[in-house]
Chain A
C-alpha cells in the first residue's frame, strides 16, 4: 500500500513549484479580465465571418479603443470585447448602429459595464470571498482545532490559486461567473479536506489506538481512499458530459472545474493532513495523552 505521509517533502516541493509557476505565469501573461472587472462592451455574435473579418468590420468606427475578437471552440459563435473610454454613451450608440448595419452578425448577447461599476464589483467579490473564507476557518476551528483551520484554508487557497494560474496560462476569461466557478472549486476542496480531517480526528481520539501520528495520517487517507477516488471520478464524469454538451458560452467553465477537482484531490491527499502535523498538532496530541 502507498504511504502518503512519506511523500510529504516531495508534495510540499511540488506545490511550491506549482505556486511559483502560477506567480510567474500570472506575472508574465496577466489575467484575461472580462468586462465585469474592467468595464467595457461585450458581444457574442453568431456569424460565418472569420475573426479577422469581424475585426475589419469594427475598424469602420474610428476609434483607438482595444478590440478583441475570439472564436468559441467548436461553434460559429464569436466573442467581441471592446475596451471602454470616454464618452461611452455615444460610443455605444455607434456600435449598436454598426451591428444593425451588419445583419450577417446575429447578436446573441450584448453587455456593457461602466468602469466605475466594475471597480465596485471587484471590491464586492473580494468582500464576499474573504468573509466566507473567515467563516470556513472559524467553523473548522470550532469543530476541530486551529491547526485544521489553517491547513484547510491553505489547501483551499492553494487549489484556487493554482487554478487561477491555469486560467491565465490558457487565456481563459476572468469574470463574475468564473468567480462562481472558483467558489465551486473552493467548496469542493474544503469538502474533500474536511472528510479526511474528520477521519484523522476520530482515529487520534480513540484511546486504544497507539499508532504513531504518521501512521494515523496514512490510515485516515487509506481508509477514505476509495471514497476520494470515487467522488472525484463521478464528479469528473459529470463534468466531461458538461464539456461535451453544454451551451457554447459555458464550455470553458467545466474544463476549469475538472482542473480544480484534480488539484483539490491532490491537495487533500498529499498536503492537508501533513500540514496539520507540521503545525505541531502531534505535540498537542502527545501532551493530551500523557
Chain B
C-alpha cells in the first residue's frame, strides 16, 4: 500500500474529518457555536436599517459644551454654523489649546474679537460611534421586551443600526423602535416668557407650560400596562432620585396643572390634587392594549439619544425564502452534476477526481463558513458558484499541463505539470482573493455577502487542489489518467 506513505493521504483524511466535524452541528438540533446562518433573503424575515440623527447629536454636543464653558470657566458663548464663538470681552486667557482639546474641540481662529472653536472630527466620530452603541442596547431591550428571541442587531458605520428578525412580521417592532421616547413633565405657566404651548391632537387639549422640563423620563425605573376602569393605561415608577424630585414638584404646586409630554406631543395635563410621594404615576390617554404596552416598553428601555429614522426596510415572506432555497439548491445540484458528468466524459478517470475535488472543496467551504458563523445570503450563493467555477478551472489547468508534458515527453510529467499549473492557479486565485478582501472591507450588504463566500471559497479551492487533487494524481499512473496522449 504505497499511498499510505504519502503525507497527502493522511492530510486528506484529516481534512475530511475536519469537514465532518464542523458541518455536522448544522444538522443537529442541539445548539452549537459552529453553525451556518442563513440571511433573511433565504430564510425569510424582516430587517430595518436605522439611522441616528447626526446633526441633532452634534447640536446637543455643542449645547453641552456651551454649558460646560459657563459652569467651568464662567464664559458666555454662542453657537453658529456648528462652531462656538467666545467673545474677548470676557477673561479668555484660560482657553488654551489644551483646555479646548479636553472639551473635544480645536481652536479654529483666535483674534482680537474672540476665540472660535470647532469640533475635533476624530473626537466627534468617536462619541457618535459610542452613542450608536448605546442606542443599539436600547433598541435591543425594546425589541426583546416584545418577545422577539432571534433578533440580530449590529452597528453599521458610525451612526446606523441594522436590525434583522427572522420569521413573520411583528408590526409592533416598527412602532417601538422608531420612537425616541423623550418623556418630559412640565409645570403649567401663565406668562409668555420661557413658556411653550403643547397640545394633544386627539383630544384638542392644550396647555401653556414652562419650556424647560421640571422632570424627564431618564428617572423612570419601570413601566407597565395596567387597567383603570377597564381602560388600558401605562403606569410608571421613578427611581429614588426621580421620586424625590417628583414629590418636591407636586407638593409645591398643589392645585396647578402639569403636562406629560412624549416626543414633543402632549399626552395629558392633569391637575395636581395632592403631593405625590410614592414616586409613581399613571398615564392615561386614548390607548389600545397594544399601544399602551408599546409605550410601557419604550419608557422602560429608556429614550434614544437622538431621533431615529428608518432608512431601509425589507421584508421577505418566509414562503418565498423556502421556495428560493429549494430551487436554488436543486439548480446548484443539477449544475454540479452536469459539470461532473461532462468532466468524466472528457477526462475519464481524472474527471472523477475533479468530482471528488469539487465535493471536498464544497465540504471545506461549508465547514469553514460554519466555523466562522458566516451568514449565507443569495449573493453569497453566487460567490459559491464562482468558487466552483474556479475549482473546476484549477483542475482543467492541472490536467492540461500534465497532458502537455506527456506530449513533449518530459521527464517528470505529473509533478512538473502540477507544479507549473499550480503557480498559474495561485496567481489567478490570489488576485481574485485580494480583490474580494477589499470588497469585504469596503462593501455593504450584498457585496459583503458575495465577497465573504468568495474569500472562503478560494481558500478552500487552493487547499483541496494542493492536497486532495495532487494525492489522486500521485497515486494514479499516467495511462489511467488518460492524459498521456
Residues in chain A within 8 A of chain B (CB atoms): 44, 106-114, 116-117, 121, 124-125, 127-129, 131-133, 135-136, 139-140, 143, 176-177, 179-181, 183-184, 186-188, 190-192, 194-195, 197-199, 202, 223-224, 226-227, 230-231, 233-235, 237-239, 241-242, 244-247, 249-250, 253
A-B contact pairs, 6 of them (CB 8 A): A176-B444, A180-B379, A191-B390, A191-B393, A195-B393, A247-B320
Docked complex Cα distance between A244 and B343 (Å): 21
B182: min CB distance to chain A, Å: 19
Report yes or no: A177 in contact with B431, Cβ–Cβ below 8 A.
no
Report yes or no: A183 in contact with B439, Cβ–Cβ below 8 A.
yes
The 0/1 profile, CB within 8 Å of A marked 1, for residues 318-354 of chain B is 0110011001101110111011001100100000000
Q: Does B265 contact A (CB under 8 A)?
A: no
Q: Does B89 contact A (CB under 8 A)?
A: no
On chain B, the residues within 8 Å of A131 by CB distance are: 438, 441-442
11 additional A-B residue pairs with CB within 8 Å, beyond A131-B438, A198-B428: A109-B315, A111-B313, A132-B434, A139-B431, A190-B435, A197-B427, A241-B338, A245-B334, A246-B328, A247-B323, A247-B324
B260: min CB distance to chain A, Å: 24
Q: If the complex has contacts A109-B320, A187-B435, A194-B431, are A125 and B444 also in contact, measured as CB distance less than 8 A?
A: yes
On chain A, the residues within 8 Å of B388 by CB distance are: 238
The 0/1 profile, CB within 8 Å of A marked 1, for residues 124-162 of chain B is 000000000000000000000000000000000000000
Q: If the complex has contacts A111-B313, A114-B312, A227-B397, are A177 and B432 also in contact, measured as CB distance less than 8 A?
A: no
Choose from B316, B423, B446 the contact partner of A198 (Cβ within 8 Å): B423
Choose from A190, A237, A247 the contact partner of B432 (Cβ within 8 Å): A190
Docked complex Cα distance between A132 and B430 (Å): 12
On chain B, the residues within 8 Å of A139 by CB distance are: 430-431, 434
Q: If the complex has contacts A117-B49, A187-B432, A227-B396, are A108 and B320 also in contact, measured as CB distance less than 8 A?
A: yes
A45: min CB distance to chain B, Å: 10
On chain A, the residues within 8 Å of B343 by CB distance are: 234
On chain B, the residues within 8 Å of A194 by CB distance are: 424, 427-428, 431
The 0/1 profile, CB within 8 Å of A marked 1, for residues 438-463 of chain B is 11011111110111001000000000
Report yes or no: B324 in contact with A128, Cβ–Cβ below 8 A.
no
Residues in chain B within 8 A of chain A (CB atoms): 49, 51, 309-317, 319-320, 323-324, 327-328, 330-332, 334-336, 338-339, 342-343, 346, 378-379, 382-383, 385-386, 388-390, 392-393, 396-397, 400, 404, 420, 423-424, 427-432, 434-439, 441-447, 449-451, 454
On chain B, the residues within 8 Å of A108 by CB distance are: 316-317, 319-320
10 nearest A-B pairs in the assembled complex, by CB-CB distance? A245-B331, A114-B311, A241-B335, A128-B442, A238-B335, A180-B450, A132-B435, A117-B311, A128-B443, A108-B320
Q: If the complex has contacts A187-B386, A237-B338, A247-B323, are A132 and B316 also in contact, measured as CB distance less than 8 A?
A: no
Report yes or no: A125 in contact with B447, Cβ–Cβ below 8 A.
yes
Q: If the complex has contacts A188-B386, A191-B431, are A111 and B51 also in contact, measured as CB distance less than 8 A?
A: no
A191: min CB distance to chain B, Å: 4
A-B pairs with beta carbons under 8 A, tally = 198
Report yes or no: B312 in contact with A113, Cβ–Cβ below 8 A.
yes
Report yes or no: B446 in contact with A112, Cβ–Cβ below 8 A.
no
Report yes or no: B316 in contact with A234, Cβ–Cβ below 8 A.
no
| Chain A residue with Cβ nearest B341 | A237
| Chain B residue with Cβ nearest A184 | B386
Report yes or no: A234 in contact with B339, Cβ–Cβ below 8 A.
yes
- Tell me what chain A mostly uses at the interface: helix, strand, loop, or mixed: helix
A199: min CB distance to chain B, Å: 7
A110: min CB distance to chain B, Å: 5
Docked complex Cα distance between A191 and B433 (Å): 11
Choose from A117, A129, A237 the contact partner of B335 (Cβ within 8 Å): A237
- Interface-centre pick from A121, A194, A234 (highest chain B CB count, 10 A): A234
A12: min CB distance to chain B, Å: 24
Q: If the complex has contacts A132-B436, A247-B324, are A184 and B382 also in contact, measured as CB distance less than 8 A?
A: yes
| Chain B residue with Cβ nearest A190 | B431
Report yes or no: B324 in contact with A117, Cβ–Cβ below 8 A.
no
Docked complex Cα distance between A242 and B383 (Å): 14
Report yes or no: A127 in contact with B311, Cβ–Cβ below 8 A.
no
| Chain A residue with Cβ nearest B354 | A234
A258: min CB distance to chain B, Å: 12
Report yes or no: A230 in contact with B424, Cβ–Cβ below 8 A.
no
Q: If the complex has contacts A128-B447, A234-B343, A245-B327, are A135 and B438 also in contact, measured as CB distance less than 8 A?
A: yes
Report yes or no: A112 in contact with B431, Cβ–Cβ below 8 A.
no
Q: If the complex has contacts A109-B314, A113-B311, A180-B379, are A249 and B443 also in contact, measured as CB distance less than 8 A?
A: no
B427: min CB distance to chain A, Å: 5
Report yes or no: A234 in contact with B389, Cβ–Cβ below 8 A.
yes
A103: min CB distance to chain B, Å: 14
Docked complex Cα distance between A242 and B324 (Å): 12
On chain A, the residues within 8 Å of B338 by CB distance are: 237-238, 241
Docked complex Cα distance between A173 and B228 (Å): 55
Report yes or no: A176 in contact with B328, Cβ–Cβ below 8 A.
no
A90: min CB distance to chain B, Å: 13
On chain B, the residues within 8 Å of A128 by CB distance are: 438-439, 441-444, 447
B413: min CB distance to chain A, Å: 15
Report yes or no: B378 in contact with A250, Cβ–Cβ below 8 A.
yes
Choose from B378, B389, B430 the contact partner of A231 (Cβ within 8 Å): B389
